[in-house]
Structure 1
Amino acid sequence: NRLKASREVESVDLPSCRLIKGIEAGAEDIDILPNGLAFFSVGLKFPGLHSFAPDKPGGILLMDLNEEKPKAKELRISRGFNLASFNPHGISTFIDSDDTVYLFVVNHPDFKNTVEIFKFEEEENSLLHLKTIRHELLPSVNDVIAVGPAHFYATNDHYFTDPFLKYLETFLNLHWTNVVYYSPNEVKLVAEGFDSANGINMSPDKKYIYVADVLAHEIHVLEKQPNMNLTQVKVLQLDTLVDNLSIDPSSGDIWVGCHPNGQKLFVYDPSNPPSSEVLRIQNILSEKPLVTTVYANNGSVLQGSSVATVYDGILLIGTLYHRALYCEL
């Protein structure tokens, strides 16, 4: 039941969609700046997950959604950063008061856990590596939401780091995963008790933090306190495995990349591939939030959708290890 192993989806198509050239091995997370520049985290490799490019390191791609026919181009990363072991997962951008753009990237070099902070240098089309963060409270990082130039909330999708203990933890349904707040002065646990904490994001007014619990099929709404602690406000139950969360800055709607059937995701069969599903959640704080299926596919076009995000009538859908889709809404 946690993997929704028997669930099949009925197709929900959009009128105009195309696969994005140059993305063949996953675009696990996508974050779009207010000016329409979209960052893609590509090439994730994870124990137990399929990969279409097992020997190629991951990277960060950039796409300008204001162009008539936008293309995804790989960003250069400054010297001194180990590109060979770059294995990017969740990403988040932060714009400082002086308009400096920082990109936070969850990284799994040699299947370890770090958060990398880069400065985006638009004129050079590059990322300048500033800092690598490792911490005992960040043993199994999945996603981050940046709240300052070196400040973020992060989800841990497992409590343990040992592969066997990770498996046992999931099998026993321990609900030990958590959310951590990190700053240069303080690192602390701010929410716990999740089955498998995954995507994380923040409301446009910065009052609420949203956390996707992938194996519990839930989105948690948490209120941000002045000391950066989080208190639970509500839980929205869904009928699918919820992965990354994106926020429409103008409406506050939550866009969710989902896995209708988790079994197909982890046991890859090209003749019966994992399906994709995109949900839009309106008025999550109300008594009856409106949940709409905007896109669904049985894997014939897009396999394993992990993120969906919107900008000016454009919807981008990324996947764990497959292609990415550019759609007009």
Structure 2
Amino acid sequence: MATMKKALLAAAVAAFAAFLGHRWFKLKEITLASREVPVKHFSCHYLENIEFGAEDITILKDGLAFLSTGLKFPHMPALSNEPGKMYVLDLLHPKPTPVELLIKGKLDLSSFNPHGISVYTDETDDSIYLFVVNHPQHKSQVEIFRFVEEDTLVHLKTITHPLLHSVNDIFAIGVESFYATNQNSFPNDALHFLTIFLGLPWCDVVFYSPEEVRVAANGFLSANGINTSPDKRYIYVSDILDHEIDIFERQEGEQLVYIKSVDVGSLCDNIEVDHKTGDLWLGCHPNAMKLVNHDPEDPPGSEVIQIKKIHSEHPVVSQEYTDNGQVLKASSVAAPYEGKLLIGSVFHKALCCDLK
């Protein structure tokens, strides 16, 4: 009997060790730990005043771009002790230069830590509302601002909710309504890592309005960027660890119905959409292990991917820009406008590139 117990115990230990080995292999696989990309550049220059990242960028139809900068995130380098800032950039200016936005209101600016952003324009009076994911003390909340004059944001409201526990990005659909992605399954980092290690797709997209808050879509390994088609009919979500862009159709009552997924072969962060063509532009991380390790001798690289004809049977996925981290580290967003492309990063700099 004792011999049998020892044999069973040894078999259980061996099986558990094999399981851990398999999951470790899968973890390296989903983080693209061994991936290298060739260098492929546009004609670009650094944006002035942006020294500590522009994690998210969004551009209005009139060429006005908003940038969230200075994000401090767990397990990522923080190159500045200053609070985060918001910038505005006029791409129609002969020499576009980011201008820091003055923030008025009761928001605690000493702990301002901006992440994903979205802009909503109220067609009744053309008022512009800027929605910003904020992580003060590494919590998750959404700030709503109104953009006034040329360089001022007026803080209107802070939104918190138990379902908005680890928000990454946001897409505004009204003056107080939005969709938001949760990049973690749980607020607790250890529990979330366990779900990733076990391959459990437990992250979600949340719909928020003053009248209702609910999970609108789920089944993501890690939900990241979110945006919409020019006609507002479809919602795009980047499942960064599944290397896919998931497409949902918006239906009555803000219900999201899953349509399909498009494989992108990279860890794609934020999603921006060309207002005219409907093409998707993705700021991506070629290798997440380099991003986490942040070795100065082998820095995290950058990658921009474009998707054309995403609703066709054969979407066209192309690698448009790549860098080994010598020019731009950890690209997180690529925003197109009239032959130009703004590429932002998690903690480094930002580029203005010429697509023509």
Scaled by the length of structure 1, what TM-score is found?
0.98
Deviations 1:192-251 (A, max 9, x none): 010000000000111100000001100000011111011110011121101100000100
1:117 alignment counterpart: 144
Q: Which has the higher helix share?
A: 2
Q: Choose from 86, 95, 102 the match for 1:76.
A: 102
Please state if 1:99 is matched with 2:126: yes
Partner SS for 1:164 = helix
Long gaps (5+) in structure 2: 1-28
Please state if 1:163 is matched with 2:189: yes
Structure-1 separation of matches of 2:48 and 2:290:
25
Partner SS for 2:242 = coil
1:298 alignment counterpart: 324
Q: Choose from 262, 277, 280 the match for 2:288.
A: 262
- Deviation, structure 1 residue 165: 1.4
Please state if 1:206 is matched with 2:232: yes
2:201 alignment counterpart: 175
2:47 alignment counterpart: 20
CA contact (8 A) 2:54 2:350 kept: yes
Deviations 1:107-147 (A, max 9, x none): 00100010000000134x11000000000111110000011
- Deviation, structure 1 residue 162: 1.5
Partner SS for 1:84 = helix
- Deviation, structure 1 residue 166: 2.2
- Deviation, structure 1 residue 312: 1.1
User: Identity of counterpart residues, as a percentage?
Assistant: 52
Structure-1 separation of matches of 2:162 and 2:63:
36
Aligned length, in residue pairs: 326
2:34 alignment counterpart: 6
2:345 alignment counterpart: 319
2:249 alignment counterpart: 223
2:271 alignment counterpart: 245
Structure-2 separation of matches of 1:192 and 1:26:
29
Structure-2 separation of matches of 1:246 and 1:310:
8
Amino acid at match of 2:76: L
Structure-2 separation of matches of 1:45 and 1:32:
23
1:45 alignment counterpart: 72
Range 27-36 or range 169-178, more displaced: 169-178
CA contact (8 A) 2:227 2:237 kept: yes
Structure-1 separation of matches of 2:199 and 2:93:
46
Deviating beyond 6 angstroms after TM superposition, the runs of 4 or more aligned structure 1 residues are none
Partner SS for 1:178 = strand
Q: CA RMSD in A?
A: 0.8
Structure-1 separation of matches of 2:101 and 2:249:
35
Compare CA radii of gyration and give the structure with the larger one: 2
Amino acid at match of 1:12: K
Long gaps (5+) in structure 1: none
Partner SS for 2:328 = coil
Partner SS for 1:223 = strand
CA contact (8 A) 2:105 2:156 kept: no
CA contact (8 A) 2:330 2:348 kept: yes
Q: Choose from 43, 58, 71 the match for 2:84.
A: 58
Deviations 1:33-62 (A, max 9, x none): 111111000011111111211x11101011
